Structure 1
Amino acid sequence: MQKIFILLIVLFFLSSSISAQETLKLSIEEIQRLGLEANGLVLAARSQVNISEAGVVAASAFPNPEVTVMAGPVTRRLPESLTGPAAGQRVVTVNQPIENPFMRQARIASAEAGVEANRASFDQVRADLAAQIRVRAYELILRQKQAEIEAGIYELLEDVRQRIKLNVERGEAARFELIRADTEVQSAANRKEAAHLIAQQARISLMQLTAGALPLNFEVSASLDDPDNLPSMEILRQEVPNVNPDVVRLQAEQERAKMRIDQERASVLPSLNVLYTNHQDAQFNANTVGVSVRVPLFYRRRGEIDTAIYDAARIRDTLEYRRYEVGQLFEIAWQALQIAKRRVEMFEGGLIKEAENAVRVAQAAYRFGERGLIELLDTQRVLRGIQNDSLQARFDLQAAAAEIDRLRAYYPKEHTVE
C-alpha cells in the first residue's frame, strides 16, 4: 500500500506536466507487446530456454581424451660398469573414452525434450502475462467509466443543491432540505474522489505489469463493448487441452523422463576406454595399446532405473490430471462468459434506458415541485447501481474471454522476440 500511495503522489505531481502533451493511445495488443518485451519474468523465462539449448550442445559433445605424462630420473643399483651411465625415463599415456551410442542418443534426446519443456514454460509465462495485462487494461477502462459516472452524479447533485439553496434563500424551502442536499453532495464528492483514486491504482497496476514501459500519458484504445472473437465451444473444447502450455510442458517432461529411462538402461552396457602408452628410457622405446572395459558385474543400476521409471509414471499421472483440469477450467471460463453475455443482454434490453428515463422524470417532477429530493435521490441511486452492474458485466465478459485465451495461449506472439 505504501508503494501505491507513493506512485499516486508521483502521478498527481506529474499530471500537470503531461496534461498539455498529446495523449498516447495504445491498443491492448500494443500494451501486451510492450509488457512481453519489458517484463523481467518473461526475460528470465527466455533465458531459461537459452540455457536448455546450451544443454543440448553439451549433451551432444564427444568426451575428451585424457593425456598423462610422467618422467623422472633412473637411479643405479649396480655399478656403472655393469649398467652404463644413468639416464631418465618418460611415460606418456593417452586415454580415450568410447561412448555408448545408445546412452548418447538418449542423453541428447533428453536434453532436446528439456528445451521443449522450457519453451512451453516460456509460452506459459507469456500467456499468463498477456492475459493479466488484458484484464488490467479493461479494469482501467472500467474504473475510468465508474469515475465518470460518479463525476456526473456529483455535478447533478451540485446543481440540485444550488437550486435548493436559492429556494431556501427565497423562503420557498426549509433549511433542512439544504442540509440534506449538502450531505448528499459531500457523499457524492467522496465517491467521486475515491473512484478517481481507484482508477489511478488500476493505471499503476497496468504500468507495473509492463515494467514501466508505458508512458504516463497513455490511454487504452479499447472499449468494454469489444467483441471477444472466440471460436465456437466445440472447437475450443478440442483445442484448449492440446495447446495449453502447461500440458505441452508436461508432455515434454514425459518424453524427457522416457529418455532418462533409456539412458539409465543403456548405462548398464559395458563402457570402453582405448589406451595408448609410450615408454622411453635410455635403452628402450615401447609403445603399448590396450582397452579398458568397465563390466557391470555387481551393480546394474537398478536403483537409478527404478527411479527413472517411477518419475515417468509420476509425470504421466500429472499430465493426465492437468489435461483434465485444464478442460474443466475452460468449461468454467466458458460458463462465466455466457453468464456475462446474458447479463449484458439484459442491461442492453432497455433496463438502463428505463432507469435513465425515470431519473429524467424525477428531475422534471422535482423542478415543478411534484416530487421531493428523496425521490430524486432514490432514482439516481437506482440508475447508478444499474450502470455499475452493466459495466461490471461487460468487464466480466472481457475477463472470461481473457482467461480462455490464456488457457489456449492466444496472444500477439508475432510481436515478441523469440
Structure 2
Amino acid sequence: MPITMRISLRRLVALSGALLLASVALEQARAAEALSLDQALQTAVANNPELAAARWDVEIAQGARQQAGLIPNPVLALDAEDTRRDSRTTAIKLSQTLELGGKRGARVEVASRGQDAVDLELERRRNLLRAEVIEAFYAALRAQERSQLAERSLALAERGLNVAQGRVTAGKASPVEAARAQVQLSQMRLESNRAHMDQGNAYRRLATVSGVSTVGFSAVQAPSQLLPSVPAATALLARLEQTVELRLAEMAIVQGEAALGLEKSQRIPDLDISLGSQYDASARERVNLVGLSMQIPLFNRNQGNVLSAARRADQARDLRNAAELRLRGETREALDQWATAENEVQSFNRVILPAAQNAVDSATRGFQMGKFNFLEVLDAQRTLIEARSQYLMALAQTTEAWVRIERIYGDLTLLDRSR
C-alpha cells in the first residue's frame, strides 16, 4: 500500500510538472500571436506592395539619368544616282551630330535632379506608410479595448440583472426592475457583437496596410508607453526645413531651374558633320566628301518653351512658400489637438473612469441593500459606458494628431534622438 501511494505521488508530481510546462508553452504561444507596433512596421516595410512599387522608381530614374548622358548615334547613309552600272554615281557618308550649347550637360542635370526627387518621394512614401501603420495599429488597439470594455459592460449588465431578479424573487422590488435590467443586458449584448465585428475589421485593415492578405495575429500588443509625449512646438517647427515635403518643394524649384537651363540650351542649334566618299562610274573617279550643316535660328529660337520653363520655376517657388505656410499651420493645429486630447485621456484615466466605476459599484450595492431603485443603477451604468466611449474618442483624437505629425516629420523617435 505505501509503495502504491509513492508511485501515485510521483505520477501526480510528474503530471503537475507537465501541466505547468504546457501552460507556460500556451502563454508563450499566445504572446507570440500578439502583434506589436514594431512588428507591424517591419512587416509593412518588407511586404507593402505600394512601397515595393515605389522602390522601382529609383531604378527607373537611374535609367533616365543614364540615357540623358548618351550622345547621339552617328548616321550612315548610302546614296546612288542613276541605276545604270556604267554611269552610276555612288556616295557613302557618315554623319555625326555635335550638340552645342551644353544640351547634354543640361539633360544630365535634369535627370540627376529627377533622381534626387525620386529618392525624396520614396522617403515620403515610407513616412506615409509608417503613419498609416500607426493609425491602423492604434485603431485596432482601440477596437480591441472597446471589445474588452463591451465585455465588462456585458458582465456589469448581467450582474445587474442577477441583483434585480434576486430582489424581485425576495419580494423587495417590482418585476419592472428585472425587465429594465433585461433590456439593459440585451443592449450590452448588441454592443458587444458590434465591438467584436469592428475589432475583426480593424485587424483586417491592419493586416492589409502591412501588406499581408490574412490576419496572422490574435491580438495587438499595447506598447509600454501607450502614446509618445507631445513634442515642443518650437523644436518641431525649427525642423520644418528638414521635412520631406518641404524638401520636395525645394527640389521642385531646383528641377524647374534645371528644366529652364535645358530649354535655354535648345536655342543654340546643333552642328552636323559628315564625312564620306563618292565614286563616279562614268569618269571612274572617287572624291572625298566633307559636309557641315546647322539650322539657322531665324524664327524658332525655342522662346516659347523658355518662357514656359521660367514661369514653372516661378510657380514652384510660390508652391514652396505655400507648402511651408500649410505645414506650419498643420503642425500647430495637430499639436493643439494632441495636447488637448492628451489632457482628456489623462483626466479619464485619473478621475472620470474611476469615479464612474465607483458610482456603478455604489449604486449596485445600494440597490442590493434596498437603498436605491434600479433606475439609479442604470443611470450609473450608462454614465460609465458613456465615459468609456468618450475615453476611446479622446484616445482616437490623440492618435490622429500623432499620425498627422508623423506624416509631416517622419519618425518622431528619430527626432528625439537627434536633439
User: Quick one: which amino acid aligns to residue 99 of structure 1?
Assistant: E
Deviations 1:29-65 (A, max 9, x none): 3212322332332223222332222111111111110
**Aligned residues of 1:127 and 1:411 also touching (Cα < 8 A):** no
Q: Distance in 2 between matches of 1:163 and 1:286?
A: 118
Partner of 1:197: 197
Q: Distance in 2 between matches of 1:188 and 1:215?
A: 27
User: Quick one: which amino acid aligns to residue 403 of structure 1?
Assistant: R
User: Quick one: which amino acid aligns to residue 197 of structure 1?
Assistant: M
1:102 corresponds to 2:111: no
Q: Distance in 2 between matches of 1:221 and 1:284?
A: 91
273-282 or 184-193, which deviates more: 273-282
Give the secondary structure class of the aligned counterpart of 1:296.
coil
Deviations 1:129-178 (A, max 9, x none): 22121011111111111111111111121122233334434444322222
- The 1:137/1:221 distance shift into structure 2, 3 A limit, reads same
Give the secondary structure class of the aligned counterpart of 2:92.
strand
- The 1:154/1:348 distance shift into structure 2, 3 A limit, reads closer
User: Quick one: which amino acid aligns to residue 252 of structure 2?
Assistant: E
Give the secondary structure class of the aligned counterpart of 2:93.
strand
1:33 corresponds to 2:42: yes
Partner of 2:216: 216
Give 1:166-185 correspondences, 5 Å limit: 166-185=166-185
**Aligned residues of 1:114 and 1:253 also touching (Cα < 8 A):** no
Give 1:355-374 correspondences, 5 Å limit: 355-374=356-375
Aligned-pair CA distance for 1:272 = 0.8
Q: Distance in 1 between matches of 2:162 and 2:357?
A: 22
Give 1:254-293 correspondences, 5 Å limit: 254-282=253-281, 283-293=284-294
Aligned-pair CA distance for 1:387 = 2.4
Give 1:43-82 correspondences, 5 Å limit: 43-71=52-80, 75=84
- The 1:344/1:236 distance shift into structure 2, 3 A limit, reads same
Partner of 1:155: 155
**Aligned residues of 2:172 and 2:370 also touching (Cα < 8 A):** no
User: Quick one: which amino acid aligns to residue 198 of structure 1?
Assistant: D
Aligned-pair CA distance for 1:225 = 4.9
- The 1:280/1:359 distance shift into structure 2, 3 A limit, reads same
Q: Distance in 2 between matches of 1:228 and 1:412?
A: 9
Give the secondary structure class of the aligned counterpart of 1:61.
coil
Give the secondary structure class of the aligned counterpart of 2:102.
helix
Partner of 1:386: 387
1:24 corresponds to 2:69: no
- The 1:395/1:74 distance shift into structure 2, 3 A limit, reads closer
Deviations 1:190-222 (A, max 9, x none): 111111111112112222222325643243222
221-230 or 393-402, which deviates more: 221-230
**Aligned residues of 2:101 and 2:266 also touching (Cα < 8 A):** no
- The 1:119/1:148 distance shift into structure 2, 3 A limit, reads same
Partner of 2:10: none
Aligned-pair CA distance for 1:224 = 8.9
Give the secondary structure class of the aligned counterpart of 2:299.
coil
Partner of 2:313: 312
Q: Distance in 2 between matches of 1:343 and 1:74?
A: 95
**Aligned residues of 1:136 and 1:206 also touching (Cα < 8 A):** yes
Q: Distance in 1 between matches of 2:347 and 2:177?
A: 36
User: Quick one: which amino acid aligns to residue 269 of structure 1?
Assistant: I
Aligned-pair CA distance for 1:231 = 4.5
Q: Distance in 1 between matches of 2:249 and 2:279?
A: 58
RMSD of Structure 2 on Structure 1 (CA): 2.6
**Aligned residues of 2:204 and 2:215 also touching (Cα < 8 A):** no
- The 1:165/1:363 distance shift into structure 2, 3 A limit, reads closer
Q: Distance in 2 between matches of 1:229 and 1:342?
A: 11
- The 1:250/1:313 distance shift into structure 2, 3 A limit, reads same
Give the secondary structure class of the aligned counterpart of 1:383.
helix
Q: Distance in 2 between matches of 1:218 and 1:257?
A: 51
53-62 or 396-405, which deviates more: 396-405
Deviations 1:316-353 (A, max 9, x none): 11111011111111111111111112212322442322
User: Quick one: which amino acid aligns to residue 51 of structure 1?
Assistant: I
Give 1:335-374 correspondences, 5 Å limit: 335-374=336-375
User: Quick one: which amino acid aligns to residue 373 of structure 2?
Assistant: G
Give the secondary structure class of the aligned counterpart of 1:68.
strand
Deviations 1:240-270 (A, max 9, x none): 3x13322222222211111111111122123
Unaligned runs of 5+ in 1: 1-18, 77-85, 414-418
Partner of 1:376: 377
Q: TM-score, normalised by structure 2?
A: 0.85
User: Quick one: which amino acid aligns to residue 262 of structure 1?
Assistant: G
Q: Distance in 1 between matches of 2:83 and 2:132?
A: 78
Partner of 1:6: none
Q: Distance in 2 between matches of 1:159 and 1:27?
A: 34
- The 1:194/1:224 distance shift into structure 2, 3 A limit, reads farther
Give the secondary structure class of the aligned counterpart of 2:248.
helix
Give the secondary structure class of the aligned counterpart of 1:92.
strand
Q: Distance in 1 between matches of 2:396 and 2:105?
A: 52
Aligned-pair CA distance for 1:108 = 0.8
Q: Distance in 2 between matches of 1:184 and 1:236?
A: 48
Partner of 1:322: 323
**Aligned residues of 2:101 and 2:268 also touching (Cα < 8 A):** no
Partner of 1:122: 122
**Aligned residues of 1:66 and 1:94 also touching (Cα < 8 A):** yes
- The 1:412/1:338 distance shift into structure 2, 3 A limit, reads closer
34-43 or 144-153, which deviates more: 34-43
Q: Distance in 2 between matches of 1:288 and 1:389?
A: 89
User: Quick one: which amino acid aligns to residue 216 of structure 1?
Assistant: G
Q: Distance in 1 between matches of 2:218 and 2:156?
A: 29
